[in-house]
Amino acid sequence: MGKAISKSGPVRALGAMSGTSLDGVDAAVLETDGREIFAFGGAGFRPYSAAERETLRAALGQWSGPQVVAAARVVEQAHIDLLSAHTDVEVIGFHGQTVAHAPRLQGTLQVGDGAVLAQALGLPVVWDFRSDDVSLGGEGAPLAPFFHHACAHYIGAAEPLCFLNLGGVGNLTYVDPRYSRPEEDGALLAFDTGPANAPLNDFLQARLGLEMDKDGRIASDGSVETGALELFLAEPYFSRMPPKSLDRNDFSEMVGLVTELSDADAAATLTAMCAAAVAQGMQHCPEPPERVLVTGGGRHNPVLMEMLRVSLDCPVEPVETVGLDGDMLEAQAFAYLAVRVARGMATSAPRTTGVRACVGGGVVTVPAGWLPAVDA
Q: What is the pLDDT of residue 245?
A: 87
- For residue 374, pLDDT over 70 is answered with no
Domain ranges of the chain: 11-142+356-365, 156-322
- DSSP-derived 3-state class of residue 103: coil
Taking the C-alpha atoms of residue 196 and residue 201, their distance in angstroms, rounded to an integer, is: 9
Phi-psi region at 194: left, alpha or beta (left = phi > 0; alpha = psi -120 to 50) = left
Window from 197-206, 213-222, 225-234, 327-336 with minimum mean pLDDT: 197-206
Region 276-296 average pLDDT: 96
Decide if 249 contacts 216 (C-beta within 8 A): no
**Mean per-residue pLDDT of the chain:** 93
pLDDT at 4 over 90: no
Identify the pLDDT of residue 376: 42
Length of the chain: 376
Tens of pLDDT, residue by residue over 119-151, are: 999 999 999 999 999 999 999 989 999 999 999
What is the value of pTM for the model shown?
A: 0.93
156-322 domain in CATH 3.30.420.40? yes
What average pLDDT does the segment 318-341 reach? Answer: 97
Residue 1: its pLDDT value, please?
Answer: 36
Residue type, 347: T
pLDDT higher than 60, residue 74: yes
DSSP bridge pairs for 189: 174
pLDDT score recorded for residue 2? 40
What is the 8-class DSSP label of residue 262?
Answer: -
Residues 12-34 pLDDT 10s? 999 999 987 788 999 999 999 99
pLDDT digits (tens, 9 = 90+) for 235-265: 999 999 999 988 777 888 888 899 999 999 9
d(CA 49, CA 47): 6
The arrangement of secondary structure in 11-142+356-365, i.e. its CATH architecture, is 2-Layer Sandwich (3.30)
> Is 156-322 the same fold as 11-142+356-365?
yes
Residue 373 has pLDDT above 80, yes or no: no
Task: Give the distance from CA 48 to its chain's centroid.
Answer: 17
Residue 9, φ and ψ in degrees, nearest 5: 90, 170
Of the listed ranges 99-108, 212-221, 317-326, the least confidently predicted one is 99-108
Query: Residues 335-351: what's their mean pLDDT?
Result: 97
Inform me whether the pLDDT recorded for 371 exceeds 90. Answer: no
- What's the pLDDT at 106? 78
Cα–Cα distance measured from residue 154 to residue 233, given in angstroms and rounded to the nearest whole number = 36
- What is the rounded distance in angstroms from the CA atom of residue 172 to the CA atom of residue 90? 30
What is the pLDDT at residue 59?
97
